[in-house]
Amino acid sequence: MKLLNLILPVILLLLLTGFQPHFFDLSATEIIQKADKRLRGKSNKAEFTMEIVRPDWKRTMSMKSWSKGDDYSLVLVLSPAKDKGTVSLKIKNEMWNWLPSIERSIKISPSMMMQSWMGSDFTNDDLIKQSSIVHDYTHSLLAEENFMGIDCYKIQMIPKPDAPVVWGKIVTWISKEHFNQRKTEYFDEDGELVNRMITSELKQLGGKLLPARMEMIPMEKEGHKTVMTYLSIDFDVNIEDRFFSKQNMRRVR
């Protein structure tokens, strides 16, 4: 009893001064899982805008999206008029685009996942998330760093052998407090930095404090960027698997 009385004040002092024993630590994979779950939920429905910025012009698009787990995702373009009704669909490891102008669906091959989506700086893979940052990469904690005044975990992700991924390496900064991705850098197979994504404007979305703004910046294209701004997100909504079908691509509204 005397020993316990001596130990308890020491433990309390260590906790108050910020010391955390090893068993309180999270692994890099656990941090990535928390960040991914926070952004996806079991399922979600979202509305957002995407502004494509170029040195001499800008273009804004409005969209809706639905996703369920890692296997299903659908994105519908609402405006502008010339793109209205365009749909991107992911079912497990396959992806299609529905183009209303020609009333045809086009299957996207794995070699096309790095291509620009709708002329933006987001790739097909970024938008539809064919690859999973949880399952398709190995994770390592590089450091704990401050980014824009926010304490973050800096985590490196290296693709697993034969994983269906488009990047040679990803490095991401995830906030300690809310497990939000605040900055992510995408590297090609030669280790060259290709894109940098920065998130900002924390807002209550679907009952969570999340970054409403995502800015994708290509490193070798001065004056180019794409800004995605979330207007609303609903998490854990009831969506049946059959919603994500090629037949529904031409009907969804």
Cα 240 from chain centroid (whole Å): 22
Mean pLDDT over 168-189 rounds to 96
Q: pLDDT by residue (tens digit) across 67-115?
A: 998 889 999 999 999 999 999 999 987 899 999 999 999 998 877 888 8
What's the pLDDT band for 13 if we cut at 50, 70, 90?
very low
Does the reported pTM lie above 0.75? Answer: yes
DSSP state letter for 21: -
In the chain, the percentage of residues whose pLDDT exceeds 90 is 71
Confidence of residue 124 (pLDDT cuts 50, 70, 90): confident
* DSSP type of residue 109: P
As a whole number of angstroms, the distance between CA 24 and CA 2 comes to: 26
Q: Is the pLDDT of residue 35 over 90?
A: yes
CATH number of 26-249: 2.50.20.10
Task: Please give the share of the chain, as a percent, with pLDDT higher than 70.
Answer: 89
